[in-house]
A = this chain, B = another copy of it.
Amino acid sequence: MSGIEAMKTIKLGMCGLGTVGSGTVNLFAQSGGAVNRRAGATLEIAHIGARRDNPLCDTSNIRVSRDIFAVVDDPEIDIVMELVGGTTVAKEIVERAIRAGKHVVTANKALIAEFGTELFELASEHGVALRYEAAVAGGIPIIKALREGLAGNEINWLAGIINGTTNFILTEMGSAKRAFADVLAEAQALGYAEADPTFDVEGIDAAHKLVILAAIAFGIPLNKNAVYTEGVTRITPADLAFAEELGYRIKHLGIAKLTESGVNLRVHPTLVPQSQLLSRVDGVENAVLIDGSAVGPTLYCGAGAGAAPTASAVVADVVDIARELVADQLPQVPALGVDPESIRPLELVSMDEVVTPWYLRLNVYDKAGVMSRLSSILSDHGISIEALIQKPPVRGEATVAVVILTNPAQQANLMSAVAQMEALESTTADIMCIRVENFKA
């Protein structure tokens, strides 16, 4: 071949041909040449397993099986892309592929969050890679940044907008002053939210992603039961407006923090200062802010979902593995970025002990002495007031809104104060409590 060495061909199998699958087929069709240059190999989608075709991509030159497992069992396939989703069939696919000595790329956060530990071990036993960049924050290469790019740092904390659906909903509620249910319906119509939105709006999806990020950040086991999870369903346009007035925005964050008493993992609506770029990441965008001991805070933003962005992450993993295959070598980067032998659980900090400033919105009856009673309850608990908004009474309404921004307070203590406030005759029993994060070291 006149001095030019032929590039090695690496055969890819794809299980599942939904949004991400069709995006990946299209990516190779459009940018395959560029990807091959990066991989140093010819990457070829050689076999797709899918119960039905997807009109969003052209698979006419690819072998397609209706039996998804035909791909896993195909001896020609070097790398299996698991794009089925869920944790039943997907788990079987991944396990069977690993046992057959194939490398695996998955976009499945639930699978990694729930079964990552055993799957990584299985992959390690069989000397194959199991990669999952697409599982968190779509196309943003956040797993690689945390696992490799920041390897010189001890991670102090990270905080991310890691669910595009809730970020879209909060952004719309804030900018258009529309109610949650109204915006949710629009998000569903636009395809940003599922018919059953529970997974997104209750924070379960974000919790899965946070579990993965925290395991890499702190070298702890994947533990989905460790995450305190609170959704966005109770947030009102009034809260978004008050937050704005106080110099904040409300974002639905996944937060992982290392403290002296252990690790704290939580997903909840959060007031973020407007001066912080994270507060300005809007719509379906995702972003992760990571505080490293050496580098300080670094921020990563981009598309967190969608066919092409997710395919971008899947293909990056495929290229990583292809580079290893070209060099005829074994995977070098541990699945969670640390020597598996060194993974140790850390004490979980109970939410009762977590200290943050708080945003409280109360409805009080417009009577003399209310404010004095509220502030003495806080004062009795040793909680001081950072800012306060009391709006003039609206004609015809029995109550007025009072918003209090507290200084940092331990949650148990704050909740005790809130219970006393709610017990007051002058206050209605529905105080809205939202945590604040100022992201100071």
* Binding stretch for chain B, among A30-38, A157-165, A230-238, A365-373: A30-38
Chain B residues positioned under 8 Å from A277 (CB to CB): 277, 280-281, 301
A88 vs B365: C-alpha distance when bound (angstroms): 77
Known: A141-B144, A295-B302, A324-B332. 4 other contacts (CB 8 A): A38-B151, A152-B318, A296-B302, A326-B332
A62 to chain B, nearest CB (A): 18
A149 within 8 A of B: yes
B308 A294 Cβ-Cβ under 8 A: yes
B148 A320 Cβ-Cβ under 8 A: yes
A229 vs B311: C-alpha distance when bound (angstroms): 36
A380 within 8 A of B: no
Chain B residues positioned under 8 Å from A302 (CB to CB): 295-299
Q: Contacts A149-B145, A153-B31; is A312 near B294 (CB within 8 Å)? A: yes
Chain B residues positioned under 8 Å from A298 (CB to CB): 139-141, 300-303
A320 to chain B, nearest CB (A): 6
A139 nearest in chain B by CB position: B295
Chain B residues positioned under 8 Å from A133 (CB to CB): 149
A148 B152 Cβ-Cβ under 8 A: no
A243 within 8 A of B: no
A408 to chain B, nearest CB (A): 26
User: Which residues of A (281-297) have their CB < 8 Å from a CB of B?
Assistant: 281, 292-297
A154 vs B246: C-alpha distance when bound (angstroms): 42
A150 within 8 A of B: yes
Sorted nearest first, the 7 A-B pairs with minimum C-beta distance are A141-B149, A152-B315, A139-B295, A298-B302, A294-B312, A151-B319, A295-B312
B281 A294 Cβ-Cβ under 8 A: no
A225 within 8 A of B: no
A39 within 8 A of B: yes
A165 to chain B, nearest CB (A): 18
**Interface size, chain A (Cβ < 8 Å):** 67
Q: Contacts A296-B303, A300-B300; is A316 near B149 (CB within 8 Å)? A: yes
A40 within 8 A of B: yes
Chain B residues positioned under 8 Å from A389 (CB to CB): none
A341 vs B330: C-alpha distance when bound (angstroms): 24
A30 B293 Cβ-Cβ under 8 A: yes
A327 within 8 A of B: yes
A299 to chain B, nearest CB (A): 4
Chain B residues positioned under 8 Å from A154 (CB to CB): 31, 34
A342 vs B316: C-alpha distance when bound (angstroms): 19
Chain B residues positioned under 8 Å from A153 (CB to CB): 31, 34, 312
A316 B151 Cβ-Cβ under 8 A: yes
A327 B332 Cβ-Cβ under 8 A: yes
Q: Contacts A293-B30, A299-B299; is A312 near B150 (CB within 8 Å)? A: yes
B151 A39 Cβ-Cβ under 8 A: yes
A267 within 8 A of B: no
A324 nearest in chain B by CB position: B332
17 pairs from A and B in contact (CB 8 Å cutoff): A4-B341, A31-B153, A31-B154, A34-B153, A35-B151, A38-B338, A141-B298, A144-B148, A144-B149, A148-B319, A152-B318, A277-B280, A277-B281, A294-B312, A295-B309, A296-B303, A327-B332
Which one, B4, B297, B311, contacts A152 given CB within 8 A? B311
A143 nearest in chain B by CB position: B149
A40 B141 Cβ-Cβ under 8 A: no
Q: Contacts A294-B27, A302-B295; is A315 near B151 (CB within 8 Å)? A: yes
User: Which residues of A (312-352) have their CB < 8 Å from a CB of B?
Assistant: 312-316, 318-320, 323-324, 326-327, 329-330, 332-334, 337-339, 341-342
A145 nearest in chain B by CB position: B141
Give the most central of A34, A313, A318, A327: most B CB within 10 Å: A34
Q: When each residue 38-70 of chain A gets 1 if its CB lies under 8 Å from chain B and 0 otherwise, what string results?
A: 111000000000000000000000000000000
A312 vs B298: C-alpha distance when bound (angstroms): 12
A174 within 8 A of B: no
Chain B residues positioned under 8 Å from A333 (CB to CB): 323
A303 B312 Cβ-Cβ under 8 A: no
A297 vs B308: C-alpha distance when bound (angstroms): 12
A219 within 8 A of B: yes
